[in-house]
Amino acid sequence: MNHLAHLFLAPDTELHRVGSLLGDFARGLNPMTLPEPVHEGLRHHRSVDAYTDQHPDVLASKRLFSARRRRFAGVALDVLYDHYLLRHWDLFSAIPVDEFIDQVYAELQNHREVMPEKMQKVTAQIVHHDWFRSYQELDRIGFALDRVANRIRFTHAFHGIIEEIETQDSELESNFLSFSRTYRHMRSAV
């Protein structure tokens, strides 16, 4: 779900970035059939996820959510961390954010042939609706999270999770900034 962060943290080649996004679409896919840089990007995605999921700052952020929504805290944080990455872009990159976003949009369009069908559809939506720029606004994060909630097929309390994010924004952001100090480790985690 934290698509922008995975693209940003991936090794700096087009196919590595495509592979880093593939991690959210790889179910049922034989990674050995992929071009090696795409496969490496996929491994990088999984390494970043494993590192992130056990990080103390991320675990502390999950605990900030109410008991009824905590089950979905990881999903919410994935999208929210893309927002915080954008909010603090200048701390992490000398490349202007719009330049990076335009670059990855072009790469996603240029390498559709290595993507499973579902990834092709989602990346087309990402580009067409300019998801990454929309993530600069916190209310758009709420909209994105409610779209995710609409796809859940069982009874849940995920809708409206943005209310808890807004209430805890300062502490969640602080945890993100603390966690992000380790991004260099994640960037080289292949």
Tens digit of each residue's pLDDT (9 = 90 or more) over 134-167 = 999 999 999 999 888 888 788 877 888 999 999 9
State both tokens at 132: 């990454």
Report the pLDDT value the prediction gives residue 188, as an integer from 0 to 100. Answer: 53
DSSP output for 84-139: HHHHTHHHH-SS-HHHHHHHHHHHHHHTGGGS-HHHHHHHHHHHHTTHHHHTTSHH
Residues 6+ apart with CB under 8 A from 67: none
Whether the predicted pLDDT of 186 surpasses 70: no
State both tokens at 3: 């698509």
- DSSP letter, residue 160: T
Q: Of 33-47, 150-164, 167-181, where does mean pLDDT reach its minimum?
A: 150-164
Overall average pLDDT of the 60-88 stretch: 95
Overall average pLDDT of the 107-126 stretch: 95
Whether the predicted pLDDT of 190 surpasses 50: no
